[in-house]
Structure 1
Amino acid sequence: MKIIELIEGEIPVIEQRGDYAIVAITKHGVEMARDLAQKFPGTDLYYMSKFERGDEEARGIQLFSNSVRMLFPALWPAYKGLIIIISLGAVIRMIAPLLEDKKKDPGVVVVDDRGENVISVLSGHLGGANELAREVAAVMGARPIITTASDVQKTIPVDLFGRRFGWEWDSAEKLTPVSASVVNEERVAVINESGERDWWMHDTPMPPSIKEYATIAEAQADQPQAALVVSHRLLTPEEQSILDNGVLYRPKVIVLGMGCNRGTSTEEIEAVIKETLDELQFSIKSVKALATIELKKDEAGLIAVCEKYGWPFVWYSPEELNQVEISDPSDTVFKFTGAYGVSEPAAKLYAGAGELLLTKKKSGNTTISVGLMPYHEEERA
């Protein structure tokens, strides 16, 4: 694992992948930072090498040694926002020499070491720190602290929309023009097919310029000037026009239940997943987790696929799986695993859904089931 050695007067070389950097230097801060990085897509995590866990390289975490103050000159021009889990006074002293212009400086938010407050410190509006503070606070269950007197717009931050739930956009191409439509109070459609419902983050009603629609077709008929579409589906050719000035977000709602023979290769497991999602016309970006039986918790192929895509790898005991009603209980599977099924009950358990979108498919050395988190269950009933 390469460690960034910070040297006075030298700007360190970093690997910038996301839009936001998370920085921590204490034991408690590192714990919170690791959890936040898992739940908040588009972030790069940096913390001191003395807290190394051994999984940093696999997770893309960057370690550094010496004073964190010397890291900020590299982070400052690289990121849209910085999430710093260090005391407010220390942060102000460290970033003061870097301040240039509110139109250029990144948004900076500070989180206290107990994770109780998320403070918008710098570039509140132009740098997006106010919205970033709200989104980070929502993920952490903390209190956002916003002090700008003119913080009155209370609308949708297009680039951060749904970030607290793990939503990620398919393409950044239209972020700027759609953001302009929102800010300029043009008619904006929101179509949320499968993501979490409580996405409106303000204590005031949505402005009349923003309107929710049940389907893309309904929104298209109304001819909005911009659109925010939240869906796990691959859009049909007829639906694509909604993205002429629209952003497509992928909510984390798909649950994969899988069983496999011992020693099944990573390549075969990944190929089955991709093939299955293509058949269902679902986006792999919307996968929430992969679930299986406890017997497979050390299965190298399953672990490798989850690490590659950043999916939680979840397993259940045979007793837990046997409590779930399934379509085709197997005595053969029970003989070898102690459970009457693996992929189907595992997917149902994690998704919290009574029905699956794909009950069970056998392919080569694998069995796969696909469930959907029931945020919109009543619409599908």
Structure 2
Amino acid sequence: MKKFAVIALTEGGAQTARCLQEQLATQGFKVEVILPQRLAREREIYYRKGDFNSTMHRLFREYNCVVCIMATGIVVRALTGVVVDKTVDPAVIVMDEKARHVISMLSGHVGGANEWTRLIARLMEAEPVITTATDTEKVQALDVLTKKVNGWYPNFKENTKKINRRLAEGKAVELFIEPYLEKYVEQFNGFTLIRDIESHRGGTPLVIVSDHTGFAKNADIIHVVPQLNVLGVGCRKDVPIAMMQTAFTEFCQQHQLLWQSIVKVASIDVKKHEAAIQYLAKTLNADLEFYTAKELQKVSQKYPESAFVLKTVGVGNVACAAADYASGEQNVTQRYANHEITMALSRLHEI
């Protein structure tokens, strides 16, 4: 869950902060209001006189979004020395005490400040103030598009600057996105959509959004890898790590799958101590989740079941059911079975 901090300086700001806290809570956000000690009510978080800057630094490090109800200049001076980079800094938003304007100040795209500025403005019936070029020109930014698919691409700063500048200037940028990924993005303003790579015009930048291999590599192409695949895994007891490596390589080759697209590995809880599964998740830098047989039974009947597996672990299949249950979606691959290992893939229902 995203964590919001709302900090104010004055009595009027405190009232607005509490109102915003209530509004954001209705949207499912965890929100904490931070006030001067003299204004804080019982059980509210406060900072003492002279601790404002240190408090701002702490909020900057600990929260996903910091909403500052005060003058912009105060915020700028308070954050001097702690701003690092837009890839890691939290969103920082500034509001006036009367909630007339909401300003996206820092980490507009990657940190989510632009998106949350619009939300806060809507909730508080205020005017959003967003100054990033792609937003003012009403085109989709590369880093925003990538965020919607939880994606990654190389040379982030260089490529983001190059593509977003072209989009803001109305210059051509082609986009190829796998059809099954379009639901995560929806809006492609500024890009020229192409339905097949062969129609790409040489010399025009091309953004490819795909979890597959096999695309040409050249200076015109930026490959965005969406990280939304869930790998279900089953195996016999004490399967060697080398065998797991071989099976995973075969699975990826079979489906032309980019390993970087896997965000989660899932299996049944009786396999939680299997070194090969632990190794695979760690190598992929993916989350690792285990489920009980009772949980997996809720989806296992969608897939072919084995009487032996049912008798052994209490559910008729492991890989297919684990991928389905962990993602909230049915498998998008056939069940792989080799080297005493099974694998199946699903994509996250939502990001």
What is the TM-score of this pair, normalised by structure 2? Answer: 0.62
SS of aligned partner of 2:227: coil
**What CA deviation, in whole Å up to 9, does each residue of 1:62-101 have, x standing for no partner?**
xxxxx7945989xx9xx9xx9543644499646416669x
SS of aligned partner of 2:296: helix
**What CA deviation, in whole Å up to 9, does each residue of 1:201-233 have, x standing for no partner?**
5xxx835xx222222223x1x557222211001
Name the amino acid aligned to 2:212.
Answer: R
**Seq. identity, %:** 16
Q: Structure 1 residue 271: deviation in Å?
A: 5.3
Aligned partners of 2:68 and 2:75 also within 8 Å: no
Matching residue of 1:199: 185
User: Is 1:96–2:84 an aligned residue pair?
Assistant: no
Matching residue of 2:92: 110
Q: 1:230 aligns with which of 196, 202, 209?
A: 209
Relative to structure 1, is the Cα distance of residues 362 and 185 closer, same or farther in structure 2, using a 3 angstrom cutoff? same
**What is the CA–CA distance in structure 2 between the aligned matches of 1:187 and 1:84, rounded to whole Å?**
33
User: Is 1:337–2:284 an aligned residue pair?
Assistant: no
Q: 2:193 aligns with which of 181, 199, 212?
A: 212
Q: 1:348 aligns with which of 308, 321, 324?
A: 324
Aligned partners of 2:110 and 2:147 also within 8 Å: no
Q: 1:256 aligns with which of 227, 231, 234?
A: 231
Name the amino acid aligned to 2:172.
Answer: R
Q: How does 1:306-317 map to 2 (within 5 A)?
A: 306-307=281-282, 309-317=284-292
Relative to structure 1, is the Cα distance of residues 279 and 93 closer, same or farther in structure 2, using a 3 angstrom cutoff? same
**What is the CA–CA distance in structure 2 between the aligned matches of 1:132 and 1:246, rounded to whole Å?**
26
**What is the CA–CA distance in structure 2 between the aligned matches of 1:211 and 1:287, rounded to whole Å?**
28
Question: Which structure would you say has the larger Rg?
Answer: 2
Relative to structure 1, is the Cα distance of residues 69 and 318 closer, same or farther in structure 2, using a 3 angstrom cutoff? same
**What CA deviation, in whole Å up to 9, does each residue of 1:15-48 have, x standing for no partner?**
xxxxxxx99799x9xxx9xx99xxxxxxxxxxxx
Q: 1:168 aligns with which of 152, 156, 181?
A: 152
Matching residue of 1:183: 168
SS of aligned partner of 1:155: coil
Q: Structure 1 residue 337: deviation in Å?
A: 0.4
Aligned residue pair count: 291
Matching residue of 1:58: none
SS of aligned partner of 2:206: strand
Aligned partners of 2:232 and 2:322 also within 8 Å: yes
Aligned partners of 1:159 and 1:175 also within 8 Å: yes
**What is the CA–CA distance in structure 1 between the aligned matches of 2:266 and 2:248, rounded to whole Å?**
13
Matching residue of 1:324: 300
Matching residue of 1:368: 343
**What is the CA–CA distance in structure 1 between the aligned matches of 2:273 and 2:335, rounded to whole Å?**
24
SS of aligned partner of 1:174: helix
* Aligned Cα root-mean-square deviation (Å): 4.9
Aligned partners of 1:357 and 1:370 also within 8 Å: yes
* Structure 2: runs of 5 or more not aligned: 8-20, 30-50
Aligned partners of 1:138 and 1:164 also within 8 Å: no
Name the amino acid aligned to 2:185.
Answer: W
**What CA deviation, in whole Å up to 9, does each residue of 1:243-283 have, x standing for no partner?**
x3232111134221101234446665455434422443211
**What is the CA–CA distance in structure 1 between the aligned matches of 2:213 and 2:110, rounded to whole Å?**
33
Q: Structure 1 residue 367: deviation in Å?
A: 2.2
SS of aligned partner of 2:176: strand
Name the amino acid aligned to 2:310.
Answer: F
**What is the CA–CA distance in structure 2 between the aligned matches of 1:299 and 1:91, rounded to whole Å?**
53
Q: Structure 1 residue 338: deviation in Å?
A: 1.1
Q: How does 1:250-329 map to 2 (within 5 A)?
A: 250-264=225-239, 269-270=244-245, 272-299=247-274, 301-303=276-278, 305-307=280-282, 309-322=284-297, 323-325=299-301, 328-329=304-305
- Per mean C-alpha deviation after superposition, the further-off stretch among 317-326 and 254-263 is 317-326
Matching residue of 1:19: none
* Structure 1: runs of 5 or more not aligned: 1-21, 37-66, 376-381
What is the TM-score of this pair, normalised by structure 1? Answer: 0.58
SS of aligned partner of 1:179: helix
Q: 1:158 aligns with which of 122, 127, 142?
A: 142
